[in-house]
Amino acid sequence: MTYIPHTDADREAMLKAIGVERIEDLFAEVPAENRFPELHLPQGKSEMEVAWEMGGLASVNAAVNEYAVFLGAGAYNHFVPSVINHILLRGEFYTAYTPYQPELSQGTLQAIYEYQSMMCALTGLEAANASHYDGATSLAEAVTLARAHYRGKRKKVIFSPSINPQYRAVARTYHQGSGMKFVGDKGSATIPDLIDMLDEDTALLAVQYPNFFGQIDDFNGLADAVHEAGALLCMVVDPIALGMFKSPGALGADMAVGEGQSLGIPLSFGGPYLGFFTTTMKLVRKIAGRVIGETVDKYGRRAYVMTLRPREQDIRREKATSNICSNQGLMALAASVYLSLVGKSGLRRVAELSYHKAHYAAQQIDALEGFSVDFSKPFFKEFVVQCPKPVAEINDALIEDWGIIGGYDLSKDYAARENQMLIAVTETNTRDEIDTLVEALRELAEA
């Protein structure tokens, strides 16, 4: 039997000790008419057969190690140093549970404490939690924090329309029963437009930085206006961009949330990823999820432990602001290892490489007949291209004829953005790949 060590002699001895004849006798309290139903599943397979079957399924997918990829929109093909996978495969890390018993979990606890410290450094805020499920649920929990902060009395949330559409949708799913109402993101509101929407009922204003279109908005006066209205400011950020751009803390944000997948986590068809969440010490007691703090053990030795526990669901039950329990702890470890490896200078380097390559690609594409790039604001590693034909059509040709996974079709989320492609370029894209993309687009425009 697979992964079950019992021998016939073991079973016999154990049943005798329990005082029953057969294992079936232990299920006497299960309604007899429903007991032991047929399961229509395939026969169990040997390890070899499992590997064959799954290898077959994997092989039909177009993986980014065989294609040039210019698709981003919330998940990015950044470089993942080899060390990370080797650390994640330490059984002591990945087969451990939540560190409720600090004496047996100092490894996990210290690694997460270091993760919190590095996320604080990155975002310029003072406190981080041990992770959420992904960037989208981090934003939803920012709304939860704002709601709790105002004890449900302020009900309005202002979302910039240039926040990732999926994130906005997830926040709405989360809050369909909480009484919060969402405004601001139905049209094409600018930052000043969003500021105009602030009022006494506003709990939170959220923007994305760089925004969904890769651009850096002008946030001058934003934080002051939000705080004057008595509300909180949340920024959805790309952690790689924070290697070169000013931190949300420096811009006056009360919370910075986002997707940590770029920090050493593979694309993996959308998950598991890493929702990060940082805030101020003033708000930390309203933060959802696990938080690791430094302390000492009984000998006075430095040690780490889960803290601010009374906020959490297992203690506070129906009064907890969030039900989160399992998080993405191992992915936070990946981010710790990544940020340690790249360090102070390497993160800047990854950011600048992405920036330079994206700008090279943008200039080349903008020079093509029929294509134009939106240069109206500074951008980081993604940019919007107005194309001469539907994006889906271009992408079909790119993958079939050129081995290229093209950019994101913005018309899927923004009806006004017909024929607009969001292109992402990272340090993993070579000049050769970029030149091939440019050549492909040139030919496609002419075809």
Report the distance separating Cα 225 and Cα 207, nearest Å. 14
Non-local (6+) Cβ contacts of 86 within 8 A are none
Token digits of residue 76? 């990015």
By beta-carbon proximity to other proteins, the closer residue of 30 and 183 is 30
Task: Give the shortest CB-418-to-other proteins separation in angstroms.
Answer: 18
| CB of residue 197 to other proteins, shortest distance in Å | 23
Pairwise CA distance, residues 412 & 122, whole Å: 32
Residue number, 281 or 416, with CB nearest to other proteins? 281
* Shortest reach from residue 317's CB to other proteins, in Å: 4
Which three-class secondary structure state does DSSP give residue 24? Answer: helix
Cβ nearer to other proteins, comparing 153 with 446: 153
HSE, CB side, 13 Å, CA atoms: give it for residue 119.
Answer: 33
Q: How many angstroms separate the Cα of 419 from the Cα of each of 93, 181, 407, 423, 446?
A: 46, 32, 11, 13, 16
Best CA proximity match to 145, nearest among 266, 291, 30, 270: 291
Q: Which two tokens stand for residue 89?
A: 């495969």
- Contact between 193 and 222 under an 8 Å Cβ cutoff? The reply is no
Q: Taking the mean position of all CA atoms in its chain, how far away is CA 62?
A: 22
Q: How far is the CB of 116 from other proteins (least distance, A)?
A: 6
And the tokens for 263?
Answer: 């920090």
Q: In whole angstroms, what is the distance from residue 79 CA to residue 90 CA?
A: 21
Closest CA to 70 of 437, 369, 351: 437
To other proteins, the closest distance from the beta carbon of 260 in angstroms equals 12
- Coil, helix or strand at residue 161: coil
Q: How far is the CB of 228 from other proteins (least distance, A)?
A: 19
Contact indicator for 310, 294 with CB cutoff of 8 Å: no
Q: Closest separation between CB of residue 88 and other proteins, Å? A: 9
The Cα-based distances of 186 to 81, 109, 207 in angstroms read 40, 42, 14
Looking at the Cβ atoms of 7 and 415, the one nearer to other proteins is: 7
d(CA 203, CA 199): 9
- Of the pair 20, 183, the CB lying nearest other proteins is at 20
Rounded-to-integer distance, Cα 424 and Cα 359, Å: 10
> Would you say 184 or 249 has its CB closer to other proteins?
249
CB nearer other proteins, residue 196 or residue 211: 211
Q: At closest approach, how far in Å is the CB of 77 from other proteins?
A: 7
Shortest Cβ 300–other proteins spacing (Å):
4
Residue 202: CB minimum distance to other proteins, A: 20
Half-sphere exposure of 28 (CA within 13 A, CB side): 5
Minimum CB distance to other proteins smaller for 50 or for 367? 50
